[in-house]
Amino acid sequence: MTNLTTLLFTLSISVTLVAQQTQKPVLHGKHWMAITGKPLSATAGAITFQKGGNAVDAACAMLAAGCTMWDVLSWGGETQALIYNPNTKKVIAINALGVAPTGATADFFKEKGMKYPPQFGPLAAVTPGTPGGLMTMLAEYGTMSLKEVLAPAMQMAAGYPIEAQTANSIERSKERIKEWPYSKKVFLPHLGEGREAPEAGEIFVQQDLLNTLTKLVEAEQQALKKKKSRKEAIYAAYDRFYKGDIAKEIVRGAREQGGLFTEEDLANWKVKIEEPMMTNYRGIDVYKLQPWTQGPVMLQTLNILENFDLKSMGYNTSRYIHTVYQAMNLAFADRDFYYGDPAFAPEEPMQGLLSKAYAKERMKLINADKNDPNIGPGDPYPFEGKKNPYLDLLKDWGKNQASVNDYKSHIPALDEQYITDFTAGTTSIEATDEAGWVVSITPSGGWVPACIAGNTGVGMSQRMQSFVLDAKENPFNVVEPGKRPRVTLTPSMALKDGKPFLSFAKQAGDEQDQNLIQFFLNVVEFGMNVQESAEAANFKTYQMYSSFGDHERKAGALTLNSQTPVWTRKDLREMGYHLSFEDRTSGPINAIFFDWKHGSFWGGSSNHGEDYGIGW
C-alpha cells in the first residue's frame, strides 16, 4: 500500500467514525442521568432523582428494581461499585461480594467428584451481598431513606408486567427450577400447563420478596421512631437482614435444599469500603476494583498498550485487533494465575503486576505477525523487589488444555454451552448528578434459574463456580470458608485533570474488561462519543480461562463483527486466528461522559440488549 493510499484509507476511516449513524441517540442531561439494564429500572432511578435524591440514591433504587426484575441478578447476589465523591474528590470502591460458607472447602467439592464448584443450586451460592451493599452505599453516601429508595422495587414486587426476555428465560429453565420448591413457587405460576412461566406482559407477583423488603423498611422506620439517625436506621435494616429473622429464614431455606450457609456466616460478613486500583493512560486516571475482581486486567492491558501508537494503526484494522488481542491475553493470563481475595494469603503481587516496567517487559512477548496460543502468566515479583514463590507451578501452567497443545490441528469449538457460560450475564448501573456524585455498579448473581432461599423471595448467588479447587491453576483463588471468589464483575471510572471523565460498565462475564478496554480506546484514541463507542464493533478473545462452568480456554478463537472486511479476515487468519462472527459485538455497555466544556452529561447505552437510560 503506497503512502498516499494509506493516507486516504486512514482519512476514510476517520470520516466514517465521525459520521456514523447510531441506532440509539446520544442521551444528554444537565441535572442528572440514570442508565441501567432495563427500562423500568431506569425509570426507578428517574423517579428517585425527581424526588430530590442524589446519584447514590438513584443508583440504589435502580439496583433494587433490577434485582426485583431478575435482570440477570437477584437480591441474593453480589454488588461491586465505584463511587466518585465530589466532596473529597476521591474514587471509593465498594466490595459487597459474598463469601464461601462454612464447610465450602476444596476437599468438600472434590469428594463429590467435582472439578469446580457447581454452576447452579444451593452449593453454588456465596453469602448474599447485594442487600448489604445497597444499604451501605445508601447509608454512607446517599440522602434518602431506605423506604423512599425501595419504593419502586416494592411496587414491582407487588406486581409488575414482566418483560419477554425474563419470562422466556424462566420458561427455558423450568425443569431445573422445578428441582427447588421455593423457586418453583415464585417462577412457575402456571404449573402443569403448556407454558408454566409467566407470559410477557403478565403481572408477575412476588409476595415473599415484598414481605422481605417490607421487613427492612419496618426495621428502618422503627429505628427512626427511636430517634436514630438516617444512617443508623438504615443499618438497623441491614442488621435485620444479616442477623435477624430474615437471616434465619435464608439459612433455613438454603440448608433445607442442601446449602451450607450458617447464621454465623451471614452475621460475620461485612461490606468493605476499599481503595480502588488505578493506572494512568496518556494523562487519564483509570480506576478499577481490587483483584477479587478481574478489574486490574484492564489496567494491565492499558499499561502494555500505552507503548504502541494505536491511533496510527486505524480502528479495527488487523494490526490493531492483533495488538490489542495480544495485550489482553498477556494480562488475562496474569489474572488467571495471580488474582484472588486480598483478605486471604497469599498476597497478590499487584504492585508488580501494575508497574509500567512490568508492562514493558510483557510487551516484548508480543509477536507482531502471529498469535501465541501458549502465552502464560509472567513473573511480576521482581518488579516489587521479591522472589516468585510459584515458579514451579508456572512451568506446567496451562499444559492440560488441548486447544493449546494441539493448536495447529485443533480448531477451538465455540459450542453453545461454552458461549453461554463464558458470557454469563449481569447488568450495569451508571448514575450521576449536578452535585458531582458519580456511581458505576456491576451487580450480579442469583440469575434465572436461581435457587430461592426459603420463603424470602431471595434468589441465591451462583458465584462459587468462579473458585478453583487446585492451587496449580491459581494459588490465590482456591475456595475456603469466608473467602471471596475472584469474579468477572468490573465497574470502571476515569478521571482527567482531577475531574470525572468517563463512567462505564457492561455485563457478560469474561467479556467485560475486554469490551470495556475497546470502548475506552474508541473514545480516547479514535474520538468517538459514548453512544458511538457503545455501539461500535468490538472483537472477543477466548484465550483466557473461562470463570464459569468447566473453566475452558479456547486459544486463538476470535469473534469479529459480521461487517469485518474480507481483507481484515484474511490477515487475521494468516496470523493464526480461528474466526467466528456475530452481528452485534458491542456490549451491552452503559456509559456517561462528562462534558466540562458545556457543563452537561452525555449518556451511551449500546444497542446490544435492553439497556436503557434517562437524563434530565
Q: Residue 340: its pLDDT value, please?
A: 98
The answer to the question of residue 58 being in a domain is no
Q: What is the maximal distance between C-alpha atoms in the chain?
A: 79
- Minimum mean pLDDT range among 176-185, 301-310, 413-422, 511-520: 413-422
The answer to the question of residue 291 being in a domain is yes
Contact criterion met (CB below 8 Å) for 505 and 493: no
The answer to the question of residue 136 being in a domain is no
* b/e burial code for range 529-558 (CB count within 10 A of at least 16 → b): bbbbbbbbbbbbbbbbbbbbbebbbbbbbb
- DSSP-assigned states of every residue in 82-122: EEEETTTTEEEEEEE---PPTT--HHHHHHTT-SS--SSSG
Q: How many domains does the chain have?
A: 1
Contact criterion met (CB below 8 Å) for 462 and 119: yes
pLDDT in tens, 107-135: 999 999 999 999 999 999 999 999 999 99
The answer to the question of residue 328 being in a domain is yes
The answer to the question of residue 435 being in a domain is no
pLDDT in tens, 332-358: 999 999 999 999 999 999 999 999 999
* Domain with 384 in it: 275-424+512-589
Q: Residue 552: its pLDDT value, please?
A: 87
- Give me 59's grid cell: 443508583
pLDDT in tens, 544-588: 898 888 888 889 999 999 999 999 999 999 999 999 998 888 878
Q: What is the mean pLDDT of the chain?
A: 92
Strand partners, 593: 502, 602
Would you give the DSSP letter of residue 589? E
Q: Residue 521: its pLDDT value, please?
A: 98
Residue 1 or 447, more confident? 447
Answer yes or no: is pLDDT of 399 > 90: no
* Single pTM value for the model: 0.94
Q: Scanning the structure block, which residue is given the C-alpha cell 501452567?
A: 397
Answer yes or no: is pLDDT of 375 > 80: yes
pLDDT > 90 fraction of the chain, expressed in percent and rounded: 84
The answer to the question of residue 371 being in a domain is yes
Ramachandran angles phi, psi of 214, nearest 5°? -65, -40
CATH code of the domain in which 417 resides: 1.10.246.130
The answer to the question of residue 461 being in a domain is no
The answer to the question of residue 379 being in a domain is yes
Burial class (CB in 10 A: 0-12, 13-18, 19+), 471: middle
